[in-house]
Copies of this chain bind each other. A is one copy, B any other.
Amino acid sequence: MLTVLNRTTNDIYTQKSKMKNTLPINENTHCKSCILKSTASGTLNDIELNEMGNNCTEMQFATGDNIIEEGSKNIHVAYIKSGLVKIHVDGSVRKIIMKIVKAPAYLCLPGAFGDKVNNFSVTAIESTTVCLINLATFKNFILYNGDFAYQIILDISKSELLNLHTLINNTQKENPGRIASVILFFFEYIYNNASFILPLSRQDLADLTGITRESASRILSAFVKQKILQIEGRKIVVLNEPGLREISEN
C-alpha cells in the first residue's frame, strides 16, 4: 500500500514531466531527521515519523513550475519546506492570486479536506522544496494523535485570520492602498529588507490586488515620482516607509 502510493505519486509527476528541474529528490524521506518539521509534525513519535517518511515524497520546483493544479484530484497534503509560492485561481476572464505563502507552511489545508479536488493552483515563484504527504496517512495522524490534530487546527486557524486581511485589503481600500500593502508585505514579512526583487510580474501584482495591469503600473510609477519607491524592473527599494504605510492605511 505504501509503496503503491509512492509509485502513484511519482507517476503523476513523471507523466507531466515536461517540466524541467522537477524531480523527486527522495522517495523515502527521513522525516525523523528533518530539521524543517512543522509544529504539528513535532508532535509525532518515532514510529509515526517513520510512517510519514514512507508516505511522503519530497520534490524540488523551479520558479514558474506548477506545484498543484486546480481541478486535479486531491491525494496529498503539500508542505513547503523552503521557498515561496503563489496560490491562484485561473478564471476564464480574470485570474485571481489568493495569496503568497512562504515556507515553512502547509498549503491549502482547508482545500485538502473540504473537497475531493483542488480548488486552487499553486505555482512556485522562487525555487521551492515541497513534501507531498499521502492524504490518508495525514488523516490517520489526525485521528490517532490529538496533539497533531490540535496543531493542525491552530495552523488552519491562523492562516484563516490572515485571509481576513486579504479580504479587507481587497474590498476596503483604493488601488494605491492595495499596492502599498503588497509592497509592505514583501518588505516586512517575506524579505525583511527595504530592497528586494519582487517575484511577481505587473500582471501578477494586479491579479493579487484585483486591479488591472495598467493601474498597477501607473501606481508604481506614481510612487516613484513621489520618491516613495525606487524601481528598476522588478527590483524595488522602499525609500519612504512611513509614507507607504500611510497610503496602505488609506
Given contacts A114-B158, A160-B160, A172-B210, contact A153 B152 (CB under 8 A): yes
Residues of B within 8 A of A147 (CB): 143
A contacts with B, residue count (CB < 8 A): 39
Q: Are B153 and A115 in contact (CB under 8 A)?
A: no
A113 to B155, CA, bound (A): 9
**A167 touches which of B112, B113, B153, B170 (Cβ 8 Å):** B170
Task: State the Cβ distance, A219 to closest chain B Cβ, in Å.
Answer: 17
Interface members, chain A 158-175 (any B CB < 8 Å): 158, 160-161, 163-164, 166-168, 170-172
Residues of B within 8 A of A161 (CB): 110-111, 114-115, 119
Q: Are A153 and B160 in contact (CB under 8 A)?
A: no
Q: Which of A96, A146, A161 has the most C-beta atoms of chain B within 10 angstroms of its own C-beta?
A: A146
Interface status of A191 (Cβ within 8 A of chain B): no
Identical copies of this chain, number = 2
Interface status of A98 (Cβ within 8 A of chain B): yes
Residues of B within 8 A of A172 (CB): 91, 94, 96, 210
Interface status of A139 (Cβ within 8 A of chain B): yes
Interface set of A (CB-CB < 8 Å, partner B):
89, 91, 94, 96, 98, 109-115, 119, 139, 142-147, 149-150, 152-154, 156-158, 160-161, 163-164, 166-168, 170-172, 210
Sorted nearest first, the 4 A-B pairs with minimum C-beta distance are: A114-B157, A143-B146, A149-B149, A110-B157
